[in-house]
Structure 1
Amino acid sequence: MRVIAGKYKGRRFHSVPGQTTRPTTDKVKEAAFHMIGPYFNGGRCLDLFAGSGSLGIEALSRGIDEAIFIDKSGKAIQTIKQNLKTLKVTEHVEVYRNDAFRALKAIHKRGLTFQLILLDPPYKKIDICLLLETITSSQLLAENGYIYCEHDVKEHLPQEINNIYQIKQHHYGDTSGITIYTRGKNK
């Protein structure tokens, strides 16, 4: 695995050992960041279901100032910490082992908002619509921010949930679908 673009471009990092995670391919990651960026002028990112931290690290490389990485797997948390250390990214990052819904509740209590929320849950194991409703009702997405959602290609997500609107959807092969949402006026 590697960073595609930005200040850490070309740097390699580790994936989570074992078969419990499904890393986002470089092709999908590159296409996704072209849809939502490709670069950022600061802001905060939430990488939920972070796995190796690949998506959040890519966001940091492309100009996001701060990132919070959340995963419920101990192996994933160890891998994220190792990858951040390898890249010498130690400031303005937080890494937590937690369930996604509990993490969202804790983040809401802190009053944080995000320019970019990255969702790459295990396919067919998480109710993505409920997750999106929780994010919107907690007002975690900043105005004009983006939610990147990777999901099973057969799963069709709604055009609109509360105050977020789908702006792009794309399928990659027979397994991966990407849906991008933004907050604000219907784009």
Structure 2
Amino acid sequence: MRVIAGTAKGRALKPVPGMNTRPTTDKVKEAIFSMIGPYFDGGRALDLFAGTGGLGIEALSRGIGHAVFVDLERQSIEVIKRNVEAARVAERAEIYRNEAGRALKVLEKRGTAFSLVFLDPPYKMKDMDAFMQELAERGLLEAGGTVVIEHDAEHVYPVTAGAFEQTKHALYGDTAVSIYRYFPSEEGGSTQTEE
């Protein structure tokens, strides 16, 4: 596991010990960033089920200005701290041990809005569309912001969900990636679908 591109390209990232965390493979990570970037000019990212921190660190390496990492597991938090140091992006990272729903409430109080959000929870969690709605309701997403959901390939998320419109969907073995844009002024987004 490594940083694929940008200022931290090639730096190795430590995995979380044990079998409870499923890090995003380099192949899937490269595919995600080719769909949403590949590079950024500032902005803020939220890595909500951060695990190793690999997605948020990749975003920082590719030009995102600041990233917030949230995970509930103490081991994950220690690994994220080591990984942001190894990638030399620690000064642009905030790391919190918290349950995802509670973290959103805390971030709302701070008045923080993100241009990029990663939702890569354990595959048994299949309610990421509800998390997207909560991000919107709490004012945590910038207009035009991007949400990346990494999930079990057998689970299908809707093409539109409130003010979110799915712009990309791709399968990589048993992993799927669904990418949404947030268009708050156009509730429901456009009705175009790919044939």
What residue number does 2:112 align with? 112
Cα distance in structure 2, aligned partners of 1:4 and 1:106: 31
After the TM superposition, which residues 8-47 of structure 1 pair with which residues of structure 2 at under 5 Å, given as runs? 8-47=8-47
Cα distance in structure 1, aligned partners of 2:169 and 2:126: 19
Moved more, 122-131 or 27-36: 122-131
Cα distance in structure 2, aligned partners of 1:103 and 1:160: 25
Letter of the aligned partner of 2:156 in structure 1? H
Moved more, 159-168 or 50-59: 159-168
Letter of the aligned partner of 1:118 in structure 2? F
Aligned residues: 186
- How much has 1:146 moved relative to structure 2? 0.5
- How much has 1:93 moved relative to structure 2? 1.1
Letter of the aligned partner of 2:22 in structure 1? R
Moved more, 153-162 or 33-42: 153-162
Cα distance in structure 2, aligned partners of 1:161 and 1:112: 22
Contact 1:136 1:164 in 2 (8 A): no
- How much has 1:136 moved relative to structure 2? 1.7
What residue number does 1:182 align with? 181
Structure 1 residue 97 corresponds to structure 2 residue 100? no
- How much has 1:126 moved relative to structure 2? 4.7
Overall identity of the aligned pairs, in %: 50
Contact 2:11 2:86 in 1 (8 A): no
Query: Normalising by structure 2, what TM-score?
Result: 0.92
Q: Note the alpha carbon deviations across 1:86-132, whole angstroms, 9 max, x for none.
A: 22222121000000000011111111111100010000235222212
- How much has 1:35 moved relative to structure 2? 0.5
Cα distance in structure 2, aligned partners of 1:100 and 1:181: 19
What residue number does 1:127 align with? 127
Structure 1 residue 162 corresponds to structure 2 residue 169? no
Letter of the aligned partner of 1:137 in structure 2? E
Gaps of 5+ in 2: 191-195
Cα distance in structure 2, aligned partners of 1:11 and 1:85: 10
Q: Which runs of 4+ in 1 moved over 3 A?
A: none
Q: Note the alpha carbon deviations across 1:40-74, whole angstroms, 9 max, x for none.
A: 01000000110000000000000000000000000
Query: Normalising by structure 1, what TM-score?
Result: 0.96
Gaps of 5+ in 1: none
Contact 2:57 2:87 in 1 (8 A): no
Moved more, 109-118 or 177-186: 177-186
